Amino acid sequence: MYKHTKTFLAAGLLLAFGCGDATTGEGAEIADALELENGGLTMDDEAPAFGEPEAFDDIGEYEAVEDEMDQDPEVADMRERPDAVQVNLIVEWGQIPGNPENETPRNWSGVFHVNRGAMVVRRVIKFEERTDRLLPRPDRQHVPFTSVTLPHYDGMILTIIDPEPQSDEPLIFSYASPLPRDADPSTDDATRNETDTRPDQPQTIVRVPVRDLVEGRVELLIDDAGNRMVAAAVARPLDICERGFLAGRWHKVEDGRGRFIGRVVHDDGEPAGHIRGIYGKRENGEQVFFGKFINLEGQFKGIFGGNYGEGHFRGRWLHRSGEHGVLGGVYREGIPGPETGGHFVGRWAETSCNLDL
């Protein structure tokens, strides 16, 4: 809750993210809160999902996956090597954060690949049973899947195990589509009818060094319909510390200020909680954001606060005892036309992780 006003909370994210126009009064309240320490946010506990779980429905949930490769003996041996490195990777593709006006489906069915080591699938994001599925793994380095998006997006969280991080050859993550015909179950499924025909897809091959993904979010591709594929990664440090990803939606209330909500997950995709906050330009011209982070039970986990501009944000994770960690990421508009809202994705970590975000 905010220290100086309950009407700020009562306005609700259904208004901010719905079809109604924001009032001048709401924008003024945000402007006042931006001038306060930590945006006027308290360090009190809240109801789970801030008492409005439906506001987070459009932000992709992370469904756990049991990947056979997680128990593979050779993968286990790779993990045990003293110099092995593990990197957790989030990949999202489609209309991000969502575009209800998009009428052109995109077929993303294809395969993820690394040139050495192994990959383990941890979570899938917004997969729908009719069009989206993980396919049998041919080996440790390939993850084939089917996926079709229209107004929304899909995604995946994977762990990459690199047994030879000191190799002269860089570790490369790749995406290739379409699937070979004999690997696509849609080509021989007798239960499917003509209305289920998947859209054609262009030949696509994208390669990116994993070190680039660890350094920040990378836009792997974008098409004329506004579909994009983005990815970011976090290397697992030797010390045990909290770290992970955050992703969500922002919405402009009026010029220079607005609200945002998002989900927070650990680096393996395990849900960690929710974030809700405000952003905007202070009277001195500084562009700031403040978001309250709570766990799944509503207990206070911290305040994410910092600066943003030119598509990037960076900040600190504050707790009752002081500075607790760092965060950083990128934001984009979601729908072509006047700027009204969009999507953000980033990474967060405790200070003890010693990660540069």
Q: How far is Cα of residue 93 from the mean position of the Cα atoms in its chain?
A: 10
- Residues 10 and 18: their CA atoms lie apart, in Å, by 15
The pLDDT value recorded for residue 18 is 37
- Residues 118 and 78: their CA atoms lie apart, in Å, by 8
> Residue ranges of the alpha helices (H) in 194-248?
210-215
- The verdict on residue 303 lying in a domain is yes
For residues 132 and 246, state if they share a domain: no
For residues 34 and 136, state if they share a domain: no
- Residues 210 and 174: their CA atoms lie apart, in Å, by 9
In 3D space, the residue among 301, 298, 256 whose CA is nearest the CA of residue 279 turns out to be 256
Render pLDDT for 188-203 as a digit per residue (tens, 0 to 9). Answer: 443 344 444 566 777 8
Q: Which domain holds residue 100?
A: 62-235
Q: Which helix (H) or strand (E) holds 27?
A: helix 24-34
For residues 32 and 128, state if they share a domain: no
Report DSSP letters for 142-188, one per residue.
Answer: EEEEE-EESSSEEEEEEEEEES-TT-SSPPEEEEEES--GGG-GGGS
Render pLDDT for 124-140 as a digit per residue (tens, 0 to 9). Answer: 998 988 899 999 999 99
Q: How many domains does the chain have?
A: 2
The pLDDT value recorded for residue 97 is 74
- Residues 182 and 178: their CA atoms lie apart, in Å, by 11
Domain boundary residue among 235, 262, 281?
235
In what order do the strands lie in the sheet containing 204-209?
A: 133-134, 142-146, 110-114, 172-177, 204-209
- The verdict on residue 30 lying in a domain is yes
CA dihedral 234, 238, 242, 243 (to 10 degrees): -10
The pLDDT value recorded for residue 3 is 46
For residues 200 and 179, state if they share a domain: yes
The pLDDT value recorded for residue 6 is 34
Cα distances from 283 to residues 35, 92, 256, 259, 312, in angstroms, run: 8, 36, 11, 18, 21
Residue 298: exposure state from Cβ atoms within 10 A (0-12, 13-18, ≥19): middle
Token pair recorded at residue 49: 């999902």
Q: Which helix (H) or strand (E) holds 73?
A: helix 73-80
Task: Respond yes or no on whether the N-terminal peptide bond of residue 178 is cis (omega within 30° of 0).
Answer: yes
Asked whether 48 and 298 are in contact (CB, 8 A), the reply is: yes
- The verdict on residue 2 lying in a domain is no
Backbone angles phi, psi at 66, to 5 degrees: -100, 100
The pLDDT value recorded for residue 335 is 54
- The verdict on residue 29 lying in a domain is yes
Q: What is the DSSP letter of 2?
A: B
- The verdict on residue 134 lying in a domain is yes
The pLDDT value recorded for residue 99 is 80
For residues 54 and 67, state if they share a domain: no
Q: What is the DSSP letter of 298?
A: -
Stretches where the chain sits below pLDDT 50 are 1-23, 187-196
Cα distances from 22 to residues 30, 40, 290, 334, in angstroms, run: 11, 20, 20, 19
For residues 209 and 254, state if they share a domain: no
Backbone angles phi, psi at 25, to 5 degrees: -60, -40
Sign of CA pseudo-dihedral 143, 148, 153, 154? negative
- The verdict on residue 345 lying in a domain is yes
Please provide the size of the chain in residues. 357
Sequence letter at residue 349: A
Q: What pTM was computed for the model?
A: 0.72
Asked whether 349 and 326 are in contact (CB, 8 A), the reply is: yes
For residues 21 and 136, state if they share a domain: no
The pLDDT value recorded for residue 34 is 96
For residues 319 and 259, state if they share a domain: yes
In 3D space, the residue among 163, 164, 117 whose CA is nearest the CA of residue 140 turns out to be 117
Domain boundary residue among 180, 203, 235?
235
Domain boundary residue among 235, 260, 280?
235
Q: What is the DSSP letter of 352?
A: G
For residues 79 and 173, state if they share a domain: yes
